[in-house]
Chain A
């Protein structure tokens, strides 16, 4: 009866429901990370010949900022009908020192958020069809 949960985008994150991770690339020569993986060579200047390896990234970080959108965005945003305001959070990953955007997980009150608080990566539904729930990474305050 339950729909299958599948990634909305392949290869960007692991489907581990308890401990999901974003998947990026690492240039070990400079120690730099990239997410998403859309680089052909390392963008650290002088390291264009460095090998790039796929790695799982931190799933915790500090909240850089957040905002709740009250206007329905155009396609290709998959909006519920009727539109519901949704919150976007920017989180600086603990180890990789890079800020990554994500939607706020459901049932989190944006009024409880504060810049600097610890956040944790979870999986959440982006949209559904008759067969599947399409999931994407989302952020929620780290478990107290």
Chain B
């Protein structure tokens, strides 16, 4: 009970690609979340912003940017960046302030937009920059890493091209009626398998896009919630753990892993540890879940996540998929929202959007993509450079 906070409101700007000011998307999400909570902006006592690093200075001070955009009220803010885990870390900042008794109501917001013109790396040789070197020496693009993980599933566990295409198809069916999804087309396996090969074995339609988007939540103490709301969805856990040395997983954008020659690798991999910490804090296990939202940067990666969040043992994810367990209507729907396959990624907003989906599902407000009887859900994600991200929401 002690670490719980209430989610009084959630709001999103639809995902898409317009190149407008990211502040506009975030403000739209904040207004929607406040309306959902039945609260006024002037009642908010803290803003935790998730930064965007593609939009110059205002993006680096997102807390203040959004507080100013909504109208300065003198409240304190925080601005957070943790790559894809930004939204979870921002929620954690707000939650700890509420739990410390220093505020009762907080807004958490993240938004991103497509920068104008091409994102070209700056010219010049940067031999001290690992991110420059991985392109120069190896051509290790982001899809390269996704390809490595997918190939490993094929050789170790018998995953097939059809399995990877099936994930895309499943998620496209889920997202087809989601008003906030960018891509609402329902795919067939044939269409996915006919798309161009990018990083073998992954094809174009199996790798997520980059999108504009904005999401926000209004968090409050349980005490405030009791006075202002009937039965809000609660956050039962937030995990923002980092790896334990040695981390032996070949993670983007690195050249190499830690060495396990001196100190033994921990019992639990970093990815497994992310949701584990959340389950421990919430006092529930994967068997208690009604649904999960995981980071399908590639469709194959969703299979890794089934194992990482303990839905099954290593090597069994394909069986879960093939049995239909993770489709809406199955035992444990994954990415009922449609996932990144239907949204594309808006980095600072994405972890918040995952939580929005859980809230709508647990409230029974998910419309055609409703998971029957949803009462507990987990989000899972990982940010570059060692950022864990997992939130558990309960009825």
Q: List chain A positions with a Cβ less than 8 A from chain B.
A: 8-9, 27, 30-36, 38, 43-45, 64-71, 73-79, 86, 88, 90, 95-103, 110, 114-116, 126, 136
Contacts and interface: CB of A to CB of B under 8 A. Distances in A.
A80 B98 CA distance: 56
Contacts of B262: 27, 30-33, 44
B128 A38 contact: yes
A64 B261 contact: no
Contacts, number: 146
Contact of A73 (B141, B156, B246): B141
Given A67-B144, A67-B148, A86 B139 contact: yes
A34 B140 CA distance: 20
B248 A99 contact: yes
Given A65-B152, A96-B259, A96-B261, 6 more contacts: A30-B262, A43-B245, A64-B148, A67-B150, A76-B121, A99-B250
Contacts of B125: 76
A69 B139 contact: yes
B280 interface: no
Contacts of A95: 261
B200 A68 contact: yes
Contact of A36 (B130, B143, B144): B130
B385 interface: no
B255 interface: yes
A126 B152 CA distance: 26
Interface of A is mostly: loop
Contacts of B143: 69, 71
B197 interface: yes
B121 A102 contact: no
Interface residues of B, number: 48
Contact of A65 (B137, B140, B151, B261): B151
B384 interface: no
Contact of B261 (A33, A69, A76, A116): A33
B198 interface: yes
Nearest to B203: A70
- Among A30, A38, A90, A100, the most chain B Cβ lie within 10 Å of the Cβ of A90
Nearest to B124: A76
A32 B135 contact: no
B260 interface: yes
Interface of B: 120-121, 125, 127-128, 130, 132-141, 143-144, 147-152, 155-156, 196-202, 245-246, 248, 250, 254-263, 265
Nearest to A43: B245
Contact of B263 (A30, A36, A66, A96): A30
Contact of B155 (A9, A44, A115): A115
Contacts of A68: 147, 197, 199-200
Q: Which 8 A-B pairs have the closest CB atoms?
A: A31-B262, A67-B147, A115-B155, A32-B262, A97-B260, A98-B259, A65-B148, A33-B259
A126 B135 CA distance: 12
A9 B134 CA distance: 12
A2 B380 CA distance: 54
Given A8-B137, A103-B139, A115-B155, A97 B259 contact: yes
Contact of B138 (A31, A35, A103): A103
B386 to A, nearest CB: 11
Given A69-B199, A88-B140, A103-B138, A64 B260 contact: no
Contacts of A45: 245
Contact of B255 (A66, A79, A100, A115): A100
A101 B197 CA distance: 21
6 contacts: A9-B127, A67-B200, A68-B197, A79-B139, A88-B147, A103-B138
Contacts of B198: 69-71
Given A64-B250, A88-B144, A110 B152 contact: no
A31 to B, nearest CB: 3
